[in-house]
A = this chain, B = another copy of it.
Amino acid sequence: MRIVYFSTSEMGPVHQSGHYPDAMTEDDYLYDPAIVQRLDFSKCLVKFNPQISAAYPGPGMRVRPLKASDYDRGFVRLLGQLTDIGEISRDAFFRRFAEMKKCPNTYFVTVIEDTVTSNYASSIIGAATLVIEQKFIHGCAMRGRLEDVVVNDTYRGRQLGKLIVATIIMLAREFSCYKISLDCKDRLIPFYQSLGFALEPGNANSMTMRLPRSSL
C-alpha cells in the first residue's frame, strides 16, 4: 500500500511518501508512551543537578518511545554518530520498526526530542534502547540490555546522556528485569560506573565472533 505521509509536527508538515507495512501509521509509537511518563524517578539511583526526569526532561525536551515518523526527524542520522549505520531506506526502517513491534514487551527504543528546534530533520537528539530477554532461569526471569546509546554532540552538558540511560534503567525496573547489562568500551567504563553499573569480578567479559554475511 502506498499512502501519502505527512507530519503533524508543529514545525510544519513534511510531505513524504512511503510504504507502511501492515496498518502502520506515522504516529505509531514502538511502545506505549504512558510507560515513560509514569517512571518514578524518585526511586532512580542516578542523581541529577538540576533535577530532571523522563517526564520532565527540561525546557523544550521530550523523552518518548520511537515513532515511525522519527525517520524524518533524524533518528537514523543520529545513530550515525554512534557507529556505521549502513544503508537504511525508509522502507527498511519501517519494516524493522514493524518487526520489533511484533515482539511483545521486547524492544524499547527510546528517544529524546527537541520540541522547539527549527531543525525538524534533526529534532531527535538522543536515543537508547532497552532490549528485554525472557529466560527460564531464575524463576522465568527477564534480563534487560542497554543498547545503542547516543546523544547529539551539540547538546552536551545538559545531563541528557545520563537521562536517557536512567530512563532505560527505570524501564528495566518497570518490567521487573532482575538485572540490566551492557557491552562497554574501555573508555566508557567510568561513565557507566558513575551511573551504577559494575564490572562483576570474574564475570565481566564480553566475547564476540564476527560472522560471514554471505554464509547462506
Contacts and interface: CB of A to CB of B under 8 A. Distances in A.
Interface of A: 43, 75-76, 79, 82-88, 92-93, 95-96, 99-100, 102-104, 106-107, 109, 131, 133-141, 144-145, 147-148, 169, 172-174, 176-187, 189, 192-193, 195-200, 202-213, 215-216
Contact of A211 (B103, B145, B179, B182): B179
A212 B179 contact: no
Given A86-B137, A107-B134, A173-B212, 20 more contacts: A86-B140, A88-B140, A99-B134, A103-B104, A103-B106, A109-B136, A131-B133, A133-B147, A137-B148, A173-B211, A176-B216, A178-B211, A179-B208, A180-B209, A189-B207, A193-B207, A198-B208, A199-B207, A200-B208, A205-B205
Given A87-B139, A96-B140, A103-B106, A205 B180 contact: no
A64 to B, nearest CB: 17
Contacts of A145: 133
Given A185-B205, A215-B173, A96 B134 contact: yes
Contacts of A92: 139-140
A207 B188 CA distance: 11
